[in-house]
Amino acid sequence: MPTVLHVKGYRFFFFSLEGKEPPHIHVEQAERYAKLWLAPVSIARAKGFRNNELTEILQIVQNN
């Protein structure tokens, strides 16, 4: 799972063999996890993040 970005303690990464899913990115920080679709940028699922953290993560993905 290659890491593509480290920002504000979040690690953004992907898995290379995830079948036929739409383009997406995974994010983790400590025991928290989220998966975001890239087009359009939106949350596919999340566990442990607060709403304000998810908003921040969405902004990071949109800007990068």
Of 33, 41, 44, nearest to 63 by C-alpha is: 41
pTM, entire model: 0.90
Query: Does the pLDDT of residue 59 top 90, yes or no?
Result: yes
pLDDT the model gives residue 20: 85
**Cβ-count burial 19-43 (b if 16+ within 10 Å, e if not):** eeeeebbbbbeeebebebeeeebeb
Residue 1 has pLDDT above 80, yes or no: no
Instruction: Write the pLDDT tens digit of every residue in 4-52.
Output: 999 999 999 998 777 788 999 999 999 999 999 999 999 999 999 999 9
DSSP summary character for residue 20? T
